[in-house]
Amino acid sequence: MEMVKLVKGNRTIERPKVDYENNIKIWETRGWELFVNKPKPEPKPEPKVASEWQKEETKKPKSKKAK
């Protein structure tokens, strides 16, 4: 027996496919739709751009004090 998922807002229910096919108009009238599993879009990595305001790193040599 095949099951289908129906979605209404943030609620999800599972019903037999035969039951859904026999009563499609009733389900749609009540606001239920077939659940379609959409893959989550993968975030695209942002290209690294050299910024105008990069902090300059300057290293001062440590001087040794003579005693």
Contact 35, 26 (CB under 8 A): no
Pairing mode, strands 11-16 and 33-34: unpaired
> What local confidence, expressed as pLDDT, does residue 4 receive?
93
Where does the pLDDT of residue 29 fall: very low under 50, low under 70, confident under 90, or very high at 90 and above?
very high
User: Tell me: the pLDDT tens digits for 52-67?
Assistant: 665 666 666 677 776 6
> What local confidence, expressed as pLDDT, does residue 28 receive?
93
> What local confidence, expressed as pLDDT, does residue 1 receive?
84
> What local confidence, expressed as pLDDT, does residue 18 receive?
94
15: nearest Cα among 42, 65, 62, 26: 26
Q: Which residues are CB-contacts of 14 (< 8 A; sequence separation ≥ 6)?
A: 3, 4, 5, 6
- Decide: pTM greater than 0.75: no
